[in-house]
Amino acid sequence: MDVRVDEKVAIVTGASRGIGEAIAAEFLRSGASGVVITGRREENLAAARARIADEIGDRDRLLTVVARADDRDHAESTVQQAISEFGGCDILVNNAGTNPAPGTLSDVDLGALEKTWSVNQLGPILWARSAFNHWMKDHGGSIINVASVGGMRPTPVLGAYNISKAALIFATQQLALEMAPMVRVNAVAPAVVKTRLSAALWEGGEEAAAATHPLGRLGEPEDVANAVLFLASEAASWITGAILPVDGGVIGAAGSLS
């Protein structure tokens, strides 16, 4: 099955590296007519654009926008830029997230907790509202949220982060209900993927970290990008409100293998 997003326009938040960059590149390889990537720093976005352009051989279909994930005005203006530059906003990937704030809920820094919840919970709703109101409610579309297996079960030390991803999973299902039938809303739930964001979970102990995944390896950004491409494409046209673990078996297989 050739999974494509031909002639679609996509926005990928938090795409200056890692999973977001891989998703943007995969959309371009798969026929997107335009991809907008966002991030907090101009220099990081420029570097990502150069890497993607070198890989894909096409710079004209890629637009970078400095935008914060939890800023309503940034969400509104970015969606409008996508429409102005490329003629639409057919796909939104809410990939931006914060570094986990370590600690138990009884002692985690409250400032870090508030920032985590603002970016991981409020942010995707702001971007989904903007995409829906400015384009998707009239033209249709697909929204994919990047959640986490942490949102599907409690784990030590990462409670604040896990709660934010659990909220994102519920928001995915709520938005799928509210935005149907014009818009499909789904989520992917990765386990540990080898990115800078998750480095504290695997650097210096990759073999041990990999051993906690039934498939025996950590994820790569491309593993998540492939799943997101599927959910964004017409191959998933009868799927909405789904949470797809991309986790090497951590959720589905771990219990049966123990």
Catalytic residues: 161
Q: Exposure string (b/e) for 46-82, b if CB count within 10 Å is 16 or more? A: ebbbeebbeebeeeebbbbbebbbbbeebbbebbebb
The two beta strands, 141-146 and 183-190, are parallel
User: How many C-beta atoms surround the C-beta of residue 217 within 10 A?
Assistant: 15
**Three-class secondary structure assignment of 101-149:** CCECCCCCCHHHHHHHHHHHHHHHHHHHHHHHHHHHHHHCEEEEEECCH
Centroid of chain to Cα 16: 12
Distance CA 61, CA 7 (A): 11
